[in-house]
Structure 1
Amino acid sequence: MAFGITRQELLDWKRKVENGEIAFLTHYWLDSRFPGSKTVTKVGCKDLEKLISWGKQYGLKAEWIDKRKEGYPHFDLIGLKQKEILEKEGLTDYLWS
């Protein structure tokens, strides 16, 4: 379950993804498979080659890209990897407790 973002934040993320930008969206998230995690960051881009290349620099594999029917391909960043990547990207505002 996702919560903690506004509709406008979601629409802005979708617009950036559709425009071929690497776009970040962090929201609160609860999933029993990841009991220690409270947030997830979605890093998306409709240009799959660009997204794959971006992910490689952080050790992310192309097969980890979430490709849903409605579009908006993205990596889900969780836990320590989420923190590491957001810090390297200079996006510490996306780190929530």
Structure 2
Amino acid sequence: MAFGIRRSELQQWKAAVARGELAFLTHYWYDPRFPDMKTVTKVGCADLDKLTAWCTANGLNPRYIHHRRSFPHYDLMGAKQIEILRKELLYSHLERFHIMYKE
């Protein structure tokens, strides 16, 4: 279940994904399977070859890409989420969701 984002942010992410761009969407999140995780970053791209290559280049297994409708994405959590957001220079995600030094 997602929290802390505006509908317009979700729509912008979906539009970028549909255009075949790599798009990042971070939000608060709760899933009882991961009780220690408070946030998730969805890295989406409708171009599965591009998303697969991105996963591989970042040491992530493309097998875990979620093939959801028109919005395939990879979920980043924990230390890998922080590492990737820093690498992609998405400091605003880290600051906004208070994950810079947590998780």
Q: What TM-score do the two structures reach when normalised by structure 1?
A: 0.94
How far did residue 37 of structure 1 move?
1.1
- The one-letter code matched in structure 1 to 2:34 is F
2:43 corresponds in structure 1 to: 43
How far did residue 55 of structure 1 move?
1.1
2:20 corresponds in structure 1 to: 20
User: 5 Å matches for 1:1-97?
Assistant: 1-68=1-68, 70-95=69-94, 96-97=97-98
Q: Tell me the matched-pair count.
A: 96
- The one-letter code matched in structure 2 to 1:71 is S
After superposition, the C-alpha distances for 1:17-70 in whole angstroms (9 at most, x for unaligned) are: 0000000000100111111111100000000000011111111111110002x2
Structure 1 residue ranges (4+ consecutive) displaced by more than 6 angstroms after TM superposition = none
Gaps of 5+ in 2: 99-103
Q: What TM-score do the two structures reach when normalised by structure 2?
A: 0.89
Structure having the larger proportion of residues in strand:
1
Aligned residues with identical type, % of pairs: 57
Secondary structure of 1:71's aligned partner:
coil
- Partners of 2:19 and 2:82 lie apart in 1 by 26
Pairwise CA RMSD: 0.8
How far did residue 6 of structure 1 move?
0.5
